[in-house]
Amino acid sequence: MSVENLDALGDYIEITMQPAILKKEIAHGELMFTIKRESLKRFISFLLNDANCEFKQLSDICGADYPDRDERFDVVYNLLSLKHNFRIRVKLHASENTPVDSITSLYSAANWFEREVWDMYGIFFNDHPDLRRLLTDYGFEGHPLRKDFPLTGFVELRYDETQKRVVYEPVKLQQDFRNFDFVSPWEGMTTMQLPGDEKARKPKIGADLPALDEKEKKIG
């Protein structure tokens, strides 16, 4: 779709739905609106049913986490109009304590998309018919795609031969901290400084490499 057509569509939506819109922009060749959270269902319903829009396909609902903000989450809706052959992205802000209205009554595909966002970020959706975890187990603690979620998680599971079932246990690490040295494994093998050699002593240009001892000769 040309930029001119995107501009025309964006202007039309902005004029019609102005009270609901916080921001309009065209980024990377896509039209995007940031809207007020309480206006979500009305705005999405307009995009679905208006003759100039007809975004009949919900491609995806996803989240993003910005922990430094008061409303730390973005909920992003990607829509496609097959009739007019263009896409649109709708975004809103939310927090752990500000539920977002479910759009399952408008798109049946929203059911699993919203469950995934709830599972990964902990964003609650009002009036969802079956808001359960989708990708993690029922006993899982936390929401894995939050920026403050530990990479190791909180629990690990294993199959217990005695109980004949899967059991959950707190994560136990052998070391509280792990220090990794990313110096190149090839350091000292050449007179050139390779990426990762910053911490190694640079050999002098033209200097002879150290002679191999008897053990290294036999290995070679």
* Number of structural domains the chain divides into: 1
Does residue 197 lie within any of the structural domains?
A: no
201-220 pLDDT per residue, tens: 555 555 555 555 554 445 55
Residue 61, domain member (yes or no): yes
Q: 86 or 4, which is more confident?
A: 86
Q: Is residue 117 one of the residues assigned to a domain?
A: yes
The answer to whether residue 186 is domain-embedded is: no
Determine the average pLDDT of the residues in 109-133.
Answer: 96
| pLDDT of the residue at 181 | 53
Parent domain of 30: 3-131
Contact of 84 with 53, CB cutoff 8 Å: yes
CATH classification at residue 13 = 3.30.460.80
Residue 96 has pLDDT above 60, yes or no: yes
Average pLDDT for 183-199: 58
- Using one digit for the tens of pLDDT, what is the confidence trace for 97-116? 999 999 999 999 999 999 99
Q: What is the mean pLDDT of residues 64-75?
A: 96
Predicted local confidence at residue 185, as pLDDT: 56
Q: Does residue 74 register a pLDDT over 90?
A: yes
Beta strand pairing call for 30-35 and 21-27 = antiparallel
Tokens of 24: 């309009």
Give domain status of residue 95, yes or no.
Answer: yes
What was the pLDDT predicted at 73? 98
**In this structure, is residue 63 part of a structural domain?**
yes
Q: Residue 140: its pLDDT value, please?
A: 81
Location of structure tokens 């609650």 = 124
Asked if pLDDT for residue 81 goes beyond 90, the answer is yes
Place of tokens 């304590």: 97
Mean pLDDT of 36-65: 97
Res 184: pLDDT: 55
Domain assignment of residue 18, yes or no: yes
Residues above pLDDT 90, as percent of the chain: 59
Residue 176 lies in a domain: no
Q: What dihedral do alpha carbons 74, 42, 9, 25 form, nearest 10°?
A: -20
pLDDT score recorded for residue 19: 93
3 Ramachandran zone, left/alpha/beta (phi>0; psi -120 to 50)? alpha
Q: Provide the pLDDT for residue 90.
A: 98
Confidence band of 139 (pLDDT split at 50, 70, 90): confident
Which pLDDT does position 198 carry in this prediction?
60
